[in-house]
Structure 1
Amino acid sequence: MPNLFHENEFVFNVLFEAVSEGVIVVDENQAIVATNVAAEQMFGYTKGELQEQHLNILIPTNHHVAHSVKGGHYETFYKQSSARQMGENKDLRGLHKNGAKFPVEVGLNPFVIGEKKYVMSILIDITNRKNSEAKIIELNALLEEKISTRTTELHKTVLDLKDEIEKRVKVESKLKKALKKEKELNELKTKFLSLVSHEFKTPLSGILNAAILIGKYTKTEMQAKRDKHLLTIKNKVYYLNGILNDFLSIERLESGKVKYKLTNFKLSKVVNEVIYNANMMLKSGQRINYPLNIDDLNIYQDEKIVELVLSNLLNNAIKYSPEKTTIDFKIKFKSNAFIFEIKDEGIGIPYEDQKHIFERYFRAENALTNEGTGIGLNIVKGHLESLGGNIKFISTRDIGTTFIVKLPLIKEK
């Protein structure tokens, strides 16, 4: 596995193991450099057993030449360097460790780390789908046989045929819906991994470059330059950590594994932590107005979720606002809830995009040039609704946005 993979092993482990499909990464020599548990189980191997093996170990022998020779399938795709489905309209097979062949669907995604090119494959065992297709063919054949054998009993044949057609339509409709849903899910996972690859590539490259530059400043009087690059590394790691927390939150929300830990804590503790981290991301001339007299406010909630919500909204306000602007952070206490308001002077949300702003992976058209995954607000909304709260916003393009979060007061048990 390349050094960069070793240095960020936790990052890639979280990403690979977050999906149920098999994920295999190979380098330009078709050597396997990374796999997830789903891929190892799919092909019958134990953890780490596929490491550094040639990709041919997973491909039936009769396809080795077409796949690996100069000018073959792999080289052709590698030169094209664009994400696509592998072997469209072809019957692709994987080779299990025990020698058995099984049908697979493969999505290919090229990416670059440092100066090395890799290809990420997303694999799905479609044995059940093939069985379903065979079942449809079997049903069609059975229907045709019944029609031919019952032509002498016209009335009974018509009734039987109508019954069979209705059954077949229902079965076929269910199968088509299942296949469509499976395809949409696969496309979503492919988009997810492509998004992750892109979002991690830039900050990881920034961290690597900053680390290299620090090594060149060896003299004592160069400490200011070292501090500058150390701050870059710290900010990039903070950004990556935020993305990882977002992805973990999605997985937990979808699987229903979120277990909220409600405790009684001082609101000022969370606010101070959020403001401290946000200050590291401020652009030149930006400042945050935030409440100072909140030391006597206690709240019974999940402390980590409150921090996640406020951090996400403040970071967005900073990211989408220009230099020399002010961000107002207000806290209001009502008889049954806490109200948090975060107002910025940023680019705002176009009116036509506002109805989609809480959808996963959605990004407004005027925010596409800013780094981001489009999942933060989706996660915030999911957690707030699970805790009995809500979130809304008021926004005008090129003027700014105000997000309002309401968290209900919960009595301590």
Structure 2
Amino acid sequence: MFNQDQDVFNVLLGSVSEGVIVVDEHQVIIEANESALKMFGYEDNELIKQPLNTLIPRNYHAEHGSHFKGFMKDKKRRRMGQGRDIFGARKDGSIFPLEAGLNPFTIYGKNYVMALVIDITLRKKQEQKIIELNTDLEDRVAQRTKDLKKAIEGLKTLNLELDVENKKRIEAEEETKIALKKEQELNELKTKFLSLVSHEFKTPLSGILTSTMLLGKYKLSEQQEKRDKHIKTITDKVHYLNNILNDFLSIEKLERGELTYNPTSFKLSKVVDEVVYNANILLKGGQKINYPENIDDFLLYQDEKIVELALSNLVHNAIKYSSENTIIDIMISQNDKETTFKVIDNGIGIPEKDQKNIFNRYFRAENALLSQGTGIGLNIVKNHIENLKGTISFTSTENKETTFTFIIPNKATK
């Protein structure tokens, strides 16, 4: 489907636990992730270029065609099968209930539909069980109501039994509601994630394609400056995509608990030098970074790469969200137990209503939506800092300044 950065796309699809199926406007399957293949009982690449009807029971084929045409005409994101049950067909011919969220999108002038598919066999069984429990309970209540007429003396005992069973039914219904709500929230998060990935990759990839095309036109030696300009554009955007991919991989490892930290002893000035050197390349016109004072003797026994990642993320954000001719201050202090890092900018700040969510994954403040970003950097930093037994916090005034502070122990503990 996507000739450029196919490996990146495959990694992202593989990290989604639900089934993801992408079809073109002719209902031909062009992508299916590992979860979808397992769900429908197929091997790698078996579904590629197959008609979508392969995954739909035969008795739904005719009806599905008209639904798909109507969907492609409206091109609005929606859930499939609203108000009715829908089913999928596995390779072995077995039928199972499912839910599917449909997301239309267009890339390079071609229309596609991405379906997020969930096998709800277990939920259907649970719902059926609740219905059976309720039916059984109603039958027992009716029978015991008749018995009440014959056994008034047992009224108190019977009422007590009924109260207990009614509580169980209410508890079961509440648990089901909570489970359904969590499932809906998860689906919304996955959909938001896929939309975010599509947007954040589409823009730089388009820039790379444009620069690549223009490079072919500059063949004269005196046009080297123009060639260098487009080569830099390509390099910058590839680095940007690589950073996004590293962020997504970091989230996956953090969630699975697969990250291991490797503490070593190092001079803090080494990390600061590296961060400032890399940040200087990103500075806007007139921006300046104030180097922290008196840190030559500061030592840490921590994971050097993680400390550099955290400080680099905060400094890059300060540059990104500050205008030209502004100052970014890095302040570092150390006592016998811990080291405190502060990054202070005079940028756009964080609106007060958004501050409670600033460390949440994929969240971006209202005044930062027009800037490139995934909303996961601060979440990753927070997780790393807390894993190092540290803390991170901030203060911010919109359109004035923001100060991020993180504190970590001087010596890592197991």
TM above 0.5, one fold? yes
User: Corresponding residue for 1:89?
Assistant: 83
Deviation by residue 1:303-333 (Cα, 9 ceiling, x = unmatched): 2222221221122111111122222223333
What SS does the corresponding residue of 2:146 show, helix, strand or coil?
A: coil
User: Partner residue of 2:194?
Assistant: 193
Q: Which moved more, 1:212-221 or 1:36-45?
A: 212-221
In structure 2, the CA distance between the partners of 1:28 and 1:281, relative to structure 1 (3 Å rule), is farther
Instruction: Give the aligned partner of residue 379 of structure 2.
Output: 378
Q: Distance in 2 between matches of 1:292 and 1:162?
A: 71
SS at match of 2:99: strand
Superposed displacement of residue 412, structure 1: 8.6
Contact 2:77 2:102 in 1 (8 A): yes
Distance 1:276 1:47 in 2: 45
1:330 matched to 2:342? The reply is no
**Counterpart AA for 1:143:** L
- Rounded Cα–Cα distance in structure 2 between residues aligned with 1:162 and 1:170: 12
Q: Cα deviation per residue 1:348-384 (whole Å; 9 max; x = unaligned)? A: 1122322222222222221122122222112211110
Q: Does 1:17 align with 2:14?
A: yes
Could you tell me whether the CA contact under 8 Å between 1:32 and 1:51 is conserved in 2? yes
- For the pair shown, which has the larger CA radius of gyration, 1 or 2? 2
CA–CA distance in structure 2, aligned partners of residues 113 and 286 of structure 1: 37
Instruction: Could you tell me which runs of 5 or more consecutive residues in structure 2 were left unpaired when the two chains were aligned.
Output: 149-154
With 279-288 and 133-142 compared, the bigger mean Cα shift is at 279-288
Q: Please, which moves more after superposition, 263-272 or 18-27?
A: 263-272
Cα 1:317–1:217 shift into 2, 3 Å: same
- What SS does the aligned partner of 1:305 have? helix
Output the aligned Cα RMSD. Answer: 2.1
Q: 1:387 to 1:219 in 2, by over 3 A?
A: same
CA distance in 1, matches of 2:31, 2:380: 29
Per-residue deviation at 1:36? 1.2
2:125 corresponds to 1:124:
no
Using the TM superposition, give the Cα deviation of residue 92 of structure 1 relative to its aligned residue in structure 2, in angstroms. 0.9
Please name the residue that 2:151 is paired with: none
| Structure 1 segments unaligned to the other structure (5+ residues) | none
**Partner in structure 2 of residue 51 of structure 1:** 48
Q: How does 1:3-402 map to 2 (within 5 A)?
A: 5-68=2-65, 72-154=66-148, 155=155, 157-291=158-292, 297-402=298-403
**Kept after mapping to 1: 8 A contact 2:40/2:55:** yes
- Given that 1:235 and 1:280 are in contact with CA atoms closer than 8 Å, whether structure 2 keeps it comes out as no
| Contact persistence 1:235–1:281 (CA under 8 A) | no
Residue type at the aligned position of 1:58: L
Contact 1:82 1:109 in 2 (8 A): yes
Compute the displacement of 1:337 (Å).
Answer: 2.0
Note if contact 1:264-1:412 (Cα within 8 Å) is conserved in structure 2: no
1:57/1:385 Cα in 2 relative to 1: closer, same or farther (>3 Å)? same
TM-score relative to the length of structure 1: 0.92
Paired residue secondary structure (1:177)? helix
Q: Does the 8 Å CA contact 1:107/1:123 hold for their aligned counterparts? A: yes
Structure 1 residues 195 and 299 mapped into 2: Cα distance closer, same or farther (>3 Å)? same
Q: Percent identity?
A: 58
Shift in alpha-carbon separation, 1:140–1:234, aligned structure 2, 3 A? same
Listed one character per residue, the Cα deviations across residues 154-196 of structure 1 (whole Å, up to 9, x for unaligned) are 1254343323212212222222211221121111111111122
Does structure 1 retain, via aligned residues, the 8 Å contact 2:292–2:330?
Answer: yes
CA contact (8 A) 2:302 2:411 kept: yes
Task: Work out whether residues 300 and 412 of structure 1, in 8 Å CA contact, stay in contact via their aligned partners in 2.
Answer: no
CA shift, 1:292, in A, is: 8.4
Per-residue deviation, 1:296: 5.6
Q: SS where residue 151 of structure 1 aligns?
A: helix
CA contact (8 A) 2:292 2:329 kept: no
Corresponding letter in the other structure for 1:49:
E
In structure 1, the residue matched to 2:152 is none
Q: Is the 8 A contact 2:263 2:412 kept in 1?
A: no
Name the TM-score, length of structure 2 as normaliser.
Answer: 0.92
Q: Give the letter aligned to residue 105 of structure 1.
A: E
- Residue 27 to residue 152, structure 1, CA distance change in 2 (3 Å): closer
